[in-house]
Amino acid sequence: MEESRQESEQLKEEYDRIAENIAALDQTITEKQALGNEARMNARNLEGRISVLNEQIRAEEMNAEHIRSRIAAIESELQEKKKGTEAAIRKKSSSLRSRWRPWRSGSVREKTSWSRLLPVYPALKDPLRTEKRR
């Protein structure tokens, strides 16, 4: 009987030691699971942030492309307006030259009309003398 009791006590001590080991292992497992869960949450958080940043990059690329196309369109419009303005200047210049030719050549009709204006507008003959009188 004494042997059975000793054996029983030894088994009980061994059982308690194993239970303590199991409890320690359970605690370690719980801690490791918590660390694993935290790591997964951090990974999901980082994946979400990466997705947001990728979307921002795509938006900026699209914005840059839009700006490039607007610049090209504006440059094209400016070239067209420049050509139109140059053509209008050439046309106006040609018109002014054609009006100036008779005055430059001294055609009689033009001299006659000019001489009729001089008595009415004496300042046309000598604008400086008229200014001095004032």
- What would the DSSP string read from start to end of 65-92? HHHHHHHHHHHHHHHHHHHHHHHHHHHH
CA distances in angstroms from 43 to 48, 85, 119, listed in the order given = 9, 62, 99
- How far is 26 from 20, CA to CA, in rounded Å? 10
User: What does the pLDDT read at residue 119?
Assistant: 60
User: What does the pLDDT read at residue 1?
Assistant: 79
Confidence band (pLDDT; 50, 70, 90) for 40?
A: very high
Which range among 11-20, 35-44, 120-129 shows the weakest confidence by mean pLDDT?
120-129
Residues whose CB falls within 8 Å of the CB of residue 51, separated by 6 or more in sequence, listed in order:
none
Mean pLDDT over 51-74 rounds to 97
Identify whether the C-beta of residue 130 lies closer than 8 Å to the C-beta of residue 122: yes
- How far is 65 from 78, CA to CA, in rounded Å? 20
Identify whether the C-beta of residue 118 lies closer than 8 Å to the C-beta of residue 124: yes
Does pLDDT of 29 surpass 90?
yes
Instruction: Specify burial of residue 92 (Cβ count, 10 A radius: 0-12, 13-18, 19+).
Output: exposed
Does pLDDT of 7 surpass 80?
yes
Does pLDDT of 134 surpass 80?
no
pLDDT digits (tens, 9 = 90+) for 77-106: 999 999 999 888 888 887 777 766 655 555
Most confident of 23-27, 94-98, 107-111, 125-129: 23-27
Question: Percent of the chain at pLDDT above 90?
Answer: 54
Residue of 124 and 40 predicted with greater confidence: 40
Average pLDDT, the chain: 83
Identify whether the C-beta of residue 123 lies closer than 8 Å to the C-beta of residue 130: yes
